Amino acid sequence: MSLTGGCIDGRIKDCCRPSDWMEVFDPKSKTWEIVPSNGAKICGCNISKSAGADGKLYMFGSCNGLSYEAREGRWGRLGWEMDYGWVWYSNSVIGDVLYMFNENVFKWYDGKAGILKGMKGLPKIPWYIARLADYGRKMVVLWERLVAYKEKLILCAVIALD
Q: Is residue 109 part of a domain?
A: no
Comparing CA positions, the residue from 7, 106, 111, 25 lying closest to residue 65 is: 111
Asked if the model's pLDDT at residue 146 lies above 70, the reply is yes
Instruction: Give the pLDDT score at 20.
Output: 56
Tally of domains within the chain: 1
Q: Is residue 80 part of a domain?
A: yes
Is the separation of the CB atoms in 89 and 99 below 8 Å?
no
Instruction: Give the pLDDT score at 138.
Output: 93
User: Edge to edge, what strands does the sheet with 11-14 contain?
Assistant: 5-8, 11-14, 21-26, 31-36
pLDDT (tens digit, 9 = 90+) per residue, 96-137? 888 888 778 888 888 778 788 888 888 778 766 788 999 999
Who wins on pLDDT, 20 or 55? 55
Q: Please tell me whether residue 82 adopts helix, strand or coil conformation.
A: helix
Measured in Å, how far apart are the chain's first and last C-alpha atoms?
Answer: 37
Q: Is residue 136 part of a domain?
A: no
One DSSP character per residue, 27-81 reads TTTTEEEEEE--HHHHT-S-EEEEEEETTEEEEEESS--EEEETTTTEEEEPPHH
Q: Is residue 150 part of a domain?
A: no
Supply the range of the domain harboring residue 27.
5-88
Q: Is residue 103 part of a domain?
A: no
Q: Is residue 15 part of a domain?
A: yes
Q: Is residue 37 part of a domain?
A: yes
Q: Is residue 104 part of a domain?
A: no
Q: What number of other Cβ atoms are within 10 A of residue 3's Cβ?
A: 13
